[in-house]
Structure 1
Amino acid sequence: MHHRTAPPSRARRRAAAVLGLALAATAVASTATAGPPRSAPDLGPNVVVFSPSTPVAEIQAKVDAIHAQQVDAEMGTARYSLLFLPGEYGSAEQPLQLKVGYYTEVAGLGASPTDVTVHGKIETYNRCLSSDPANPNCLALVNFWRTLSNLTLDIEAAGQDGCRASANFWAVSQAVSLRRLNVLAGEGDPGFSLMDYCTAGPQYASGGFIADSRFGDVVNGSQQQWLTRNSEVRSWSFTAQQAVDYGLADRVVTTLKDVPAAA
């Protein structure tokens, strides 16, 4: 026996038509109220986002101005984030050479450290705390509160003098970190120094942290109380005489690859 499907009633057809019109109206209204695409959010004046299209000279000037404000601001209240969108910054001919002061974060915004490459330097130097030329008291013992993370650093020293060109200097002590860094340095290239040996003495430095990173040659020098974990380092250098001169102690190094014993 064949059953014939009854045609939809007039009321059901009318209800379906009304529902269709309502859905269409909702879609039109949604499109009308969406408005233009949203602009970039306002992150405030102390969060600075750079893109690869930003001229190197403009980035350099902006970061130099922030460093000039923060280099001695140990008890200051300003905080800065310097953020780099994926891409490349600087070059061998025009390196981007940045200095990092108090309460300053420098970070790449890529998913991987290799998504952002800075051709140049990112550094912290000793502070000379005395105006006495005979005893300027240059050291890093109070270089606190700064971080560097999630980028590739291709060390380029063009334009710097002989001593400054010999390494990327990160002379710090406590409340500092280097995370997810990929530091490019072939044999014979400038290394990465955890002390600043270019100023007058005593050049002391005391404490910091490296994690999930890859380095070439690291100069320990006067640095003490340093923790490094889950990282690859081609060489880590300090001598027995430096241990005597600077009273080196409390270095903890875990899961490092290919690190020769101290001389």
Structure 2
Amino acid sequence: MEPALRSPRRRRGPLAALALTASAALAGLGLGLPTAHAASVAHAGCGQPAQPDFGPNVRIFDPGMSRDRIQSQLDKDFETQKSTQTAQFASGRVAHLFKPGSYSVHDNVGFYTSVAGLGQNPGDVQITGDVTVDAFNESDQGSALQNFWRSAENMAVTPTSGDDRWAVSQAAPFRRMDIKGGLQLFPASYGYSSGGYIADTKVAGKTASVSQQQWYTRDSALGSWDGGVWNMVFSGTHGAPPNTFPTPPETTLATTPVSRDVPYLYVDGAGKFRVFRPALRTNASGPSWANGATPGDSVPISRFRVAKPGDKAADLNRSLAAGCSLFFTPGIYHLDQTLNVTNPDTTVLGIGYPTLVPDNGVDAMHIADTDGMRVKGVLFDAGTRNSNALLTVGKKGEHTDHAKNPISLQDVFFRIGGDLAGKATNSLVVNSDDTLVDHVWAWRADHGKAGTVGWTTNTADTGVLVNGDDVTATGLFVEHYQKFQVLWNGRRGKTIFFQNEMPYDVPNQGSWNSAPGTAGYAAYKVGDKVTSHEAWGLGSYCFFDTNPAVAAERAFEVPRNGGVRLHSLLTVSLNHRGTIKHVINDVGGVTPDGTKPVNVPHYP
């Protein structure tokens, strides 16, 4: 995504039932394993001391430290992670973790940086100052279009100017935040930005989007909202604007049908590290912590293997097989074998954008079709030999009911090219029923290091392939793949918010036709046999820069039946480089000049 390219703009088997019963009985123990298995974990070598070594890339601050000492470290990390030119595809990874208490600091957040409070609730860490993302670099030219891979979570912030600034694009979540003022989602220059995602957050004042082209806000509370370029979507958000798409382009659902807040690291009253795992919510509205605390259970850090760069895949797999969860610290992890996550209620949690790179053509991770798996905060980066899939969830054709304790994927990101000349046929394959896909950016890179990007270099067919039934996606960003960006074959799927760009580098029309006589590939295709599917707030953009004569027949392709319904759809041709002929099936006109959207409020 280049700054110059944008204008404003069921069933349950007996084993599964037994696992759920055991999980409920052992909620206090964390992993939800049968008693004998849970007892054996303590001897499996995965346990950590109450004060574990998180490695050299994790900064842990406490209120007893001087303000100058903390600020000096924040500034040093920012200078290292700041540059769009040199840090965007570098190896630096870092996490800033604040123990409960009060601080007076300003944290400018650069690439691959996670900032988080270590309280059990956002108010346990009070920042008087700012947690800021802006168009920091002269090379950005006032644009925030490449402000990727950074996060803020689980803190209360009282902004020094009255407004905090979080001017980001993709893969930059803002979660469990309590902003005691306003929130500005645009750069101070008022340049373009292409975000973004907020969840489980309270903003006392106005949230202003201004130059943000699209944004999704879930299970939050806002004092007010102002602005919208193309596609602003809200679900379960108090203070959200009314549903007015396309003028202004705001789509609002009163509740989120099913959601779950992310697992997160915290320090308990005794000073011990634990991981909190929030409970499932249905028809949610407002932050999960609004009434004092987020419901859920707590896992001691002793139930995790704390992984560090250099750890071998075989060792990580032995820990997983023994019943350990995984806590990935910041860094890059090369995998010469697939990580297999098989035990119920296993948590895979990353901070500081830990990056998993599959070597030798293996898949990076497989998750078994079992209850309660959670993956959060991990970046999958394709290796130079083709992987069939970077992350696969479940086994195709096994329809086990996980509705009461689903698998959840949150802040899970995928990259094909940019840093490496990566290759993967699919990025994410979801076979398990009831899976929650909550904030995913699957990106086939359109820019990066020399030799890592090109039509025959960073090859990738599909970003997200869904075969499971009753899968829900909240905040789905998928860009630049070479065939269908999203292919949804499962029944009764739901998507709330979808952002897409078609591939920039299609060489010619003859190399990019989904069928004889059908130009291009739809960005979002619902399988021909699907009879029930619903989605809200979907935008697809084209920028066929290599060959502006290229066209796509349609952005959205779905079966023509009353059970498949899509709401608030749009297409845009960025700077009129190529065209999309229809929005959905044969409905909606060709994208015009002037970077103007073509809108379809409802289909059918």
Is TM-score (shorter-chain normalized) higher than 0.5? yes
| CA 62–193 in structure 1, closer or farther in 2 if over 3 Å, else same | same
CA distance in 2, matches of 1:147, 1:122: 10
**Aligned-residue offset at 1:253:** 1.1
**Aligned-residue offset at 1:39:** 8.4
CA distance in 1, matches of 2:97, 2:211: 30
| CA 166–86 in structure 1, closer or farther in 2 if over 3 Å, else same | closer
User: For 1:214, which of 202, 205, 228 is the aligned residue?
Assistant: 202
Q: Provide Cα deviations, 1:193-237, integer angstroms capped at 9, x if missing partner.
A: 00013x3x6x10001110011002111110122110000001111
Gaps of 5+ in 2: 1-48, 243-247, 250-604
1:235 aligns with 2:216: no
Number of residues paired by the alignment?
192
- Report the equivalent of 1:152: 156
**Aligned-residue offset at 1:40:** 3.7
**Aligned-residue offset at 1:127:** 3.9
- Report the equivalent of 1:70: 81
**Aligned-residue offset at 1:43:** 1.5
**Aligned-residue offset at 1:166:** 6.0
- Report the equivalent of 1:188: none
Q: Provide Cα deviations, 1:25-59, integer angstroms capped at 9, x if missing partner.
A: xxxxxxxxxxxxx7843221110000011111111
Question: How large is the Cα RMSD of the aligned pairs?
Answer: 2.0
1:105 aligns with 2:108: no
- 3-state SS of 1:60 partner: helix
CA distance in 2, matches of 1:258, 1:205: 23
- Report the equivalent of 1:195: 186
- Report the equivalent of 2:131: 122
CA distance in 1, matches of 2:52, 2:115: 19
- Report the equivalent of 2:178: 182
Percent identity for Structure 1 against Structure 2: 36
CA distance in 1, matches of 2:136, 2:180: 27
CA distance in 2, matches of 1:139, 1:87: 35
- 3-state SS of 1:235 partner: strand
Q: Provide Cα deviations, 1:138-167, integer angstroms capped at 9, x if missing partner.
A: 2000000001001111112xxxxxxxx463
State the one-letter code of the partner of 2:209: N
1:84 aligns with 2:98: yes
State the one-letter code of the partner of 1:212: D
User: For 2:64, which of 31, 44, 53 is the aligned residue?
Assistant: 53
Gaps of 5+ in 1: 1-37, 91-95, 131-135, 157-164, 186-190
CA distance in 1, matches of 2:174, 2:50: 32
| CA 63–236 in structure 1, closer or farther in 2 if over 3 Å, else same | same
- Report the equivalent of 2:234: 253
**Structure possessing the higher relative contact order (Cα contacts under 8 Å, 6 or more residues apart):** 1
CA distance in 1, matches of 2:92, 2:154: 23
1:223 aligns with 2:212: yes
CA distance in 2, matches of 1:122, 1:137: 21
CA distance in 2, matches of 1:209, 1:172: 9
- Report the equivalent of 2:308: none
CA distance in 2, matches of 1:150, 1:223: 23
Q: Provide Cα deviations, 1:92-133, integer angstroms capped at 9, x if missing partner.
A: xxxx11100000000011111111111110001114454xxx
Say if 2:192 and 2:212, in contact at 8 Å, map to a contact too. Answer: yes
**Aligned-residue offset at 1:256:** 1.6
- For normalisation by structure 1, the TM-score amounts to 0.68
